[in-house]
Amino acid sequence: MEKQSRLLCSELCVQRRLYEVTLNCAILAWKDIQIAKKHTGRAIYGAVKAGSYCVPVCEIIAVQEKDDDTPCKNTGKWQKVPQSPADPCQHAFTVFYVERTRQHCWWCSNVTFHCSDHSLCLLWVQTIREQLALLTNRPKSLLVYINPYGGKQRGKQIYDHKVAPIFSRASISTDVIVTERANHARDHLKTEADLKKYDGVVCVGGDGMFSEIMHGLVSRTQQEAGVDENSMEETLMPCGLRIGIIPAGSTDCICYATVGSNDPVTSALHIIVGDSQAMDICSVHNEDRFLRYSVSLLGYGFYGDVLTDSERKRWMGPARYDISGVKTFLSHRYYEGTVSFLPAEGNLGSPRDKMQCRTGCSVCRQSSSDKLVSKNEDSVSDAECQDTWTVIRGKFLAINAASMSCACPRSPKGLSPSAHLADGTTDLILVRKCSRLDFLRHLLRHTNKDDQFDHSFVEVYRVKQFRFTPRYQECDSEVDLRESGVTGKRFLSQICREHRACGCMPSQSNWNCDGEILPHTAIQVRVHCQLIKLFARGIEEQQVFEDPYAHCAI
């Protein structure tokens, strides 16, 4: 690795031991001089060794000159720093930085450097601050919406106690709105908020709250660009502001699948360091009417029924999903209809290729450059028009479209473990009618390492667009019936009569769209590649946690 030129190098004390501390524009490093002497001749840097530490500048949260009256790190007791000019610990500054802990969680750690010379102390503080000021991707001003009723109703507490103090440490200014009703945040973003004042929007809540904020921002962006959301063919305009998610909901799948944890401090730190993760959005239409956007799960049948039942049990908090899950599983309902889709082609992989989307994902990067090329050539819609639709008709227990893995604490690898956050596709999973036992086997595989698609009754396709028509609305039957003189209500009653004869009722489910119920069952869905950006970086490879500073060459 290319060596960066040193900005500063001094001998400073940390917990009364002498360290050689160096700063270049990428890394702050400190090594215990006595331990380093013992290791003379051996490589100290390049990996974390005894007594050697380093932090990438881009993961420094803040630097602060230490006041005289502050708690001593060794004892935790408050004490006056000695005034003797010979005391090498007289002046001090503290560096706050990201530390990786367990399972993709980050923590705000700190180290205090002491020295006898005040001007040297100031020089260090000023130089580190200058380096931080060069990091232009970091937000300075944020608009924060808190849902006080999401999850276990701890959104406000989580923000006040865990997030606000680190935002203030990082000198981020915030305007905070605690919502007073459902859709308060969406409406405020869509029509009122002065978005020019902010570098990003923060959502404190669960997937439903995120959905509100995403709808507000996407709709506002389309309005300002003169794009008609009701037209499925329109190319939507990407949003300029990034969204940060502080998890405080019941499932928190969007946070979990983009960060790797549902820890509020980790999310706050990703916001502070100015991470950016592009994300696909599906638009959902019924005929020429725009219904909603989706970023995670669009589920009909099982997940639609779980959601419909769980909405009546909101008072139970997150446990409502477990109760409704078991109830829905026992009811074992299946639904008839036709699914048509446009398969994704090119280098977009397949839902079963085990290529998981991770930080810097090459599949998503490729989609980003393809998007740029097709924008310049204006050829995408023409090409798509020539594509052929695959049509599948059948009886389904579940139809799920996962635009991202949908990993969450209940299902750590998610509904579609190899789905990508920003590849412009969604994984369409069709679970055909099967026995209860088989369906249970399939569901349980969401919670363990086994392949949930390895069943004869499960099919999965990576698609760019899809449509669903429930059987009772199918045009063919309608045409047939119209041709034979049957119309409207008579058409429905005819189906019901047919079903009474065979002892089962034709039933319809609802679509679960990121945790909201859609008002229509016949829908048309199109994936819009990388329409929004989050303050996240995707899930880091585990190796980064095990050897975080392998790149720390000074």
Ligand X SMILES: Nc1ncnc2c1ncn2[C@@H]1O[C@H](COP(=O)(O)OP(=O)(O)OP(=O)(O)O)[C@@H](O)[C@H]1O
With a CB cutoff of 8 Å and minimum separation 6, the contacts of 308 are: 509, 510, 517
Both tokens of 104, joined, read 């993709």
d(CA 348, CA 364): 8
- Tally the C-alpha atoms within 13 A of residue 25's C-alpha that lie toward its C-beta: 7
Nearest-approach distance from CB 373 to Ca ion, in angstroms: 19
Angle, CA 142 vertex, CA 188 and CA 138 arms, to 5°: 145
- Tally the C-alpha atoms within 13 A of residue 239's C-alpha that lie toward its C-beta: 30
Q: Please identify which residue in 47, 164, 182, 316 interacts with ligand X, judged by CB under 6 A.
A: 182
Both tokens of 463, joined, read 């698609």
Render 413-426 in DSSP notation, one character per residue: T-SSTT--SSSS-E
Angle, CA 397 vertex, CA 392 and CA 399 arms, to 5°: 55
> Between residues 285 and 446, which has the closer beta carbon with respect to ligand LY3EYVUO?
446
> Between residues 324 and 405, which has the closer beta carbon with respect to Ca ion?
405
Q: Please identify which residue in 112, 219, 403, 530 interacts with Ca ion, judged by CB under 5 A.
A: 403
Is 324 among the residues that bind ligand LY3EYVUO (CB under 6 A)? no
Angle, CA 261 vertex, CA 255 and CA 267 arms, to 5°: 60
The whole-angstrom distance between residue 503's C-alpha and the CA centroid of its chain comes to 45
Render 155-168 in DSSP notation, one character per residue: HHHHIIIIIHHHHH
Sign of the Cα torsion 512, 514, 519, 525 reads negative
Q: Please identify which residue in 51, 208, 394, 506 interacts with ligand X, judged by CB under 6 A.
A: 208
Evaluate whether 213 touches 171 at the Cβ level (below 8 Å): no
Alpha helices in 226-379 (DSSP H): 253-259, 264-272, 302-311, 320-331, 362-377
Is 207 part of the annotated catalytic residue set?
Answer: yes
Evaluate whether 426 touches 403 at the Cβ level (below 8 Å): yes
Pairing of strands 200-205, 242-247: parallel
Q: Please identify which residue in 253, 268, 518, 522 interacts with ligand LY3EYVUO, judged by CB under 6 A.
A: 253
Residues in a beta bridge with 157: none
> Between residues 190 and 358, which has the closer beta carbon with respect to Ca ion?
358
Evaluate whether 531 touches 240 at the Cβ level (below 8 Å): no
**452 DSSP 8-state letter:** T
Q: Please identify which residue in 45, 149, 329, 545 interacts with ligand LY3EYVUO, judged by CB under 6 A.
A: 329
Q: Please identify which residue in 90, 112, 131, 147 interacts with ligand X, judged by CB under 6 A.
A: 147
The stretch among 17-25, 93-101, 345-353, 399-407 that binds Ca ion (CB under 5 A) is 399-407
Q: Please identify which residue in 19, 60, 95, 205 interacts with ligand X, judged by CB under 6 A.
A: 205
- Tally the C-alpha atoms within 13 A of residue 196's C-alpha that lie toward its C-beta: 1
Interface of this chain with ligand LY3EYVUO, residues 430 to 449, rule: CB under 6 A: 443, 446-447
The stretch among 412-420, 432-440, 494-502, 533-541 that binds Ca ion (CB under 5 A) is 412-420
Is 250 among the residues that bind ligand X (CB under 6 A)? yes
> Between residues 9 and 517, which has the closer beta carbon with respect to ligand LY3EYVUO?
517
Nearest-approach distance from CB 312 to ligand X, in angstroms: 13
Is 299 among the residues that bind ligand X (CB under 6 A)? no
Q: Is residue 317 classed as helix, strand or coil in its secondary structure? A: helix
> Between residues 251 and 524, which has the closer beta carbon with respect to ligand X?
251
> Between residues 234 and 423, which has the closer beta carbon with respect to Ca ion?
423
Report what 150 binds from ligand X, Ca ion, ligand LY3EYVUO, none; CB cut-off 5-8 Å by kind.
ligand X
Q: Please identify which residue in 139, 150, 151, 206 interacts with ligand LY3EYVUO, judged by CB under 6 A.
A: 206
Catalytic residue among 207, 263, 275, 305: 207
Is 275 among the residues that bind Ca ion (CB under 5 A)? no
Report what 538 binds from Ca ion, ligand X, ligand LY3EYVUO, none; CB cut-off 5-8 Å by kind.
none
Evaluate whether 526 touches 232 at the Cβ level (below 8 Å): yes
Is 427 among the residues that bind Ca ion (CB under 5 A)? no
> Between residues 253 and 430, which has the closer beta carbon with respect to ligand LY3EYVUO?
253
Q: Which residues bind ligand LY3EYVUO (CB under 6 A)?
A: 206-207, 251, 253, 296-297, 303, 307, 321, 325-326, 329, 406, 408, 410-411, 415, 443, 446-447, 512, 514-515
Q: Which residues bind ligand X (CB under 6 A)?
A: 147-151, 179-184, 205-209, 212, 249-252, 515
Query: Would you please indicate which residues are annotated as catalytic (active-site) residues?
Result: 207
